[in-house]
């Protein structure tokens, strides 16, 4: 490959934060990747520069019309010191699906992967090595044309920034409580629910705040049409182990096609589990719980990997799942996926990409 | 009132664009208003400064999670030279309703009005005087905390920028063609459709592009639940004159509470028209058209004031409304509202606020 990514290295490397005590998304590495787009010129000037603020006109379209998309993935340090990423090609494929939905011009996925590789090589010392830690990578695109008026921007910036993050589970993998939301709606078929775009997250803040006030850490969304079928959790897809099978909502256009979701489904099938991707109503779930067939619930996402659910609240009722303890399947999936990611376990699927 | 708004005036006033040929939202005045928010400190440091780019960390929440809201209103120059705004208090009330929905801290409406007044006084020479021209005013809030993670920002900026704009109708008021959208959805009850937030507009770009390709200038949205009830157009509310009455979709939570809509309803009632704010299905509309009872369709919004609709396309069928000509009620409403705004007609409702 030969993309001319220019590089300007920092003259003032930052002090790295204490990696035994990392807060999610607060510290950023020494460098970032930027590339610009302009109608007529296409994507151009790919470059790695010192991490720094960006200068934008107050009329930049991203501020007003939210034309922006993002991705999230992680790099890990293996025991032997090598740095790896997990299925990064999947993230850049999804980035382009989000771009398409948001009328943002496509980005060459090979160039994006190469940019990430070069950026990771430059900032490789930032990849922490403690158990559970990683380097969170955030590629994103923003519309930068300074013009009011609702139409696709003529200018964009694509950037990659990176942040060392601690273990999601400071004290071991712990079940969370989730609140089934039946007032607010995150997305509906025909909308942008399956794109990783800013507006979906803005739309979720209020519900999340109200759930927090009631002691729930996450919201479980129901579909926008019937307020009946289960969609996903804040930034995780959701799985149910019911009567010996695993059920997860199908990719219906309003939920995100999670890369962890996809990996978990492959792993489960590999192990011989029956996995059903289909509509599942909240009533079916309540029914399964009442008849003692609901064996486990867990969320899946890049940040938490696997997040067991210990309690759900729906329509004023509380349901404790397996007495609030972590299910054996959740634990096994967590151990296996993190084991593959960190090179402790074999990688039968070719998911792990070494950065060299 | 005494809010200490500090002022730093530009040393390099810009050349004003030719006001007979203004493009919407491309030119900005010499100054802008800014105020910052930080948890613990509240909104602080209100100031008027030269119009200039802003510096933001790439991890600023607005880029990733779209926590942002905006407003749009206009200032006009009356024949006697005075500068007026139209119902600005309504815009700042709505701004705070949007803030509330997006978990953004409320802004003192009196301070916002005072900031606008002072900014307009400083940049008053930018208010054009030609028929149909005005100064478009864009107040907006963006989340500026630099931290990844989906939760309300701890920092915000509130800004007001202003842009001289030309007549929406370069060649007189002209009916537009609209495309009834039955694939894409803009908003659904329980979502953020009634807030003026960036994500709603990002979600509309794809549908708008596809409508343009088919020769339609705007999309008419249907409700997200049934894809059946009429909601609104791109950035306008919509009205139908059917069999001697005026019908407009009720404020159901998924459409914007337009200030032009509100003013038009008041005007119509003042004139003795029956105005029904209710659910109206696309089938009812098609039925009215087929039985020759559909007398006029028009959109209402700050940018266009009144926009008559000459053709609608639904499910592959085209319906020409009154042979594509502007209805007499649309024309009368346009003349009256613009007349009140520019001081040519009496203002029985006290809508016009002189800036002095
Ligand atoms: C809305 C939403 N759903 C699900 C996920 C999980 O996706 P992934 O497994 O690719 O991280 C995320 C996080 O990226 C998300 O933001
Ligand atoms: C979605 C939407 N609907 C309707 C309107 C019309 O509202 P107003 O009359 O306050 O300009 C606008 C424009 O502000 C809008 O963005």
Phi, psi of A208 (to 5 degrees): -65, -45
Q: Is the pLDDT of residue B193 over 70?
A: yes
Angstrom CA distances, B341 to A10, B117, B261, B328, stand at: 55, 17, 15, 20
- Give B209→chain A minimum CA distance, Å: 8
Question: 3-class SS at A27?
Answer: coil
Assess whether pLDDT exceeds 60 at residue A1.
no
Cα A213 to Cα A88: distance, rounded to the nearest angstrom:
36
Cβ distance of B224 and A227 shorter than 8 Å: no
Give the number of the ligand closest to the Cα of residue A262: 1
Residue A71: other Cβ atoms inside 10 A:
22
Q: What is the number of the ligand closest to the CA of A86?
A: 1
- pLDDT tens for B220-249 read 999 999 999 999 999 999 999 999 999 999
> Is the pLDDT assigned to residue A144 strictly greater than 70?
yes
Question: For the residues of A70-98, what is the DSSP string, one character each?
Answer: E--EEEEE-TTS-EEEESHHHHHHHHHHH
Q: State how far the Cα of B25 lies from the Cα of B18, in Å rounded to an integer.
A: 14
Burial (CB < 10 A; 0-12, 13-18, 19+), residue B111, is: middle
Tell me the H-state helices in chain A. 61-65, 88-101, 109-122, 198-202, 205-213, 259-270, 282-290, 328-341
CA angle B215, B221, B222 (to 5 degrees): 130
Distances (CA, A) of B233 to B181, B302, B325: 10, 13, 19
Average pLDDT over every residue of A137-149: 97
Residue B1: pLDDT over 60: no
Residue B184 clears pLDDT 70, i.e. is over it: yes
Per-residue model confidence (pLDDT) at position B144: 98
State both tokens at A297: 């619930």
Q: Please check the confidence at residue A329 and state whether its pLDDT lies above 70.
A: yes
Q: Is the pLDDT of residue B213 over 50?
A: yes
Nearest CA to ligand 2 atom 7: B258
Interface contact B168, partner A, CB < 8 A: no
Model confidence pLDDT, tens digit, residues B66-118? 999 999 999 999 999 999 999 999 999 999 999 999 999 999 999 999 999 99
The helices-and-strands tally (H runs, E runs) of chain B is 8, 19
Query: Which pLDDT band, with edges at 50, 70 and 90, does A167 fall under?
Result: confident
Task: Determine the distance in angstroms separating the CA of A146 from the nearest CA of chain B, rounded to an integer.
Answer: 7
- Name the minimum distance, in Å, from the CA of A154 to any CA of chain B: 13
What is the band of A51 on the pLDDT scale with cuts at 50, 70, 90? very high
Residues within a 6 A CB radius of ligand 1: A 72, 232, 235-237, 256, 258-261, 300-302
- Quick check: B2 pLDDT over 70? no
Among B residues 284-303, those touching chain A with beta carbons less than 8 Å apart:
none
**Is B270 strand, coil or helix?**
helix
Cα B33 to averaged position of ligand 2 atoms, centre (Å): 22
List, chain by chain if needed, residues with CB within 6 Å of any ligand 2 atom: B 72, 232, 235-237, 256, 258-261, 300-302
Burial (Cβ within 10 Å: 0-12, 13-18, ≥19) of residue B50: middle
Question: Which domains are present in chain A?
Answer: 6-165 (3.30.470.10), 176-341 (3.20.10.10)
Work out which ligand 2 atom sits closest to the CA atom of B91.
Answer: 10
Ligand nearest to the CA of A194: 1
A244 CA from centroid of ligand 1 (Å): 25
Q: Is A49 on the interface with B (CB under 8 A)?
A: no
The model's pLDDT over A258-282, given as tens digits with 9 standing for 90+, comes to 999 999 999 999 999 999 999 999 9
Q: What are the pLDDT digits (tens) for B281-313?
A: 999 999 999 999 999 999 999 999 999 999 999
Q: Whose CA is nearest to atom 4 of ligand 2?
A: B236
Dist. CA B305–CA B52, nearest whole Å: 30
Q: What is the DSSP string of A252-285?
A: -SSS---HHHHHHHHHHHHTT--EEES--BHHHH
Q: Does A240 touch chain B (CB under 8 A)?
A: no
How deeply is A154 buried, as exposed, middle or buried, from its count of CB atoms within 10 A (0-12, 13-18, 19+)? Answer: middle
How high is the mean pLDDT of chain B? Answer: 96
**Cβ of residue A121 closer than 8 Å to a chain B Cβ:** no
Give the separation between CA B213 and CA A223, rounded to whole angstroms. Answer: 31
Which residues, in sequence order, are CB contacts of B217 under 8 Å at separation 6+? Answer: B176, B177, B178, B211
Instruction: Write the pLDDT tens digit of every residue in B146-181.
Output: 999 999 999 999 999 999 999 776 666 789 999 999
Nearest C-alpha of chain B: how many angstroms from A190?
Answer: 4
């Amino acid at each position: 490959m030969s993309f001319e990514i220019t590089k300007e290295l920092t003259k003032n490397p930052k002090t790295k934060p204490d990696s035994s005590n990392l807060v999610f998304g607060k510290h950023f590495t020494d460098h970032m990747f930027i590339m610009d787009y302009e109608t007529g010129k296409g994507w151009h000037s790919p470059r790695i520069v010192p991490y720094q603020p960006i200068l934008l006109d107050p009329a930049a379209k991203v501020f007003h019309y939210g034309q922006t998309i993002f991705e999230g993935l992680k790099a890990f340090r293996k025991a032997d010191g090598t740095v790896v990423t997990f299925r990064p090609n999947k993230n850049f494929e999804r980035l382009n699906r989000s771009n398409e939905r948001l009328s943002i011009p496509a980005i060459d996925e090979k160039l994006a992967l190469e940019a990430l590789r070069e950026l990771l090589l430059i900032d490789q010392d930032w990849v922490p090595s403690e158990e559970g830690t990683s380097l969170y990578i955030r590629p994103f695109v923003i519309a930068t044309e300074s013009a009011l008026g609702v139409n696709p921007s003529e200018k964009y910036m694509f950037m990659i920034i990176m942040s060392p993050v601690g273990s999601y589970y400071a004290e071991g993998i712990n079940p969370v409580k989730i609140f089934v939301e039946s007032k607010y709606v995150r997305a509906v078929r025909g909308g942008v629910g399956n794109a990783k775009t800013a507006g979906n997250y803005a739309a979720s803040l209020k519900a999340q705040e109200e759930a927090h006030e009631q002691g729930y850490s996450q919201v479980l969304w129901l579909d926008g049409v019937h307020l009946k079928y289960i969609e996903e959790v804040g930034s995780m897809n959701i799985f149910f182990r019911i009567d010996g099978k695993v059920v997860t909502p199908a990719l219906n256009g309003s939920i995100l096609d999670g890369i962890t979701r996809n990996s978990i489904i492959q792993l489960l099938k590999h192990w011989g589990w029956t996995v059903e991707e289909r509509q599942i109503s909240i009533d079916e779930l309540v029914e399964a719980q009442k008849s003692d067939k609901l064996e486990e619930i867990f969320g899946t996402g890049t940040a938490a990997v696997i997040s067991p659910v210990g309690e759900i609240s729906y329509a004023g009722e509380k349901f404790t799942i397996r007495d609030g303890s972590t299910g054996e399947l959740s634990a096994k999936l967590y151990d296996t996926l993190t084991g593959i990611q960190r090179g402790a376990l074999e990688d039968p699927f070719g998911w792990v990409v070494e950065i060299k």
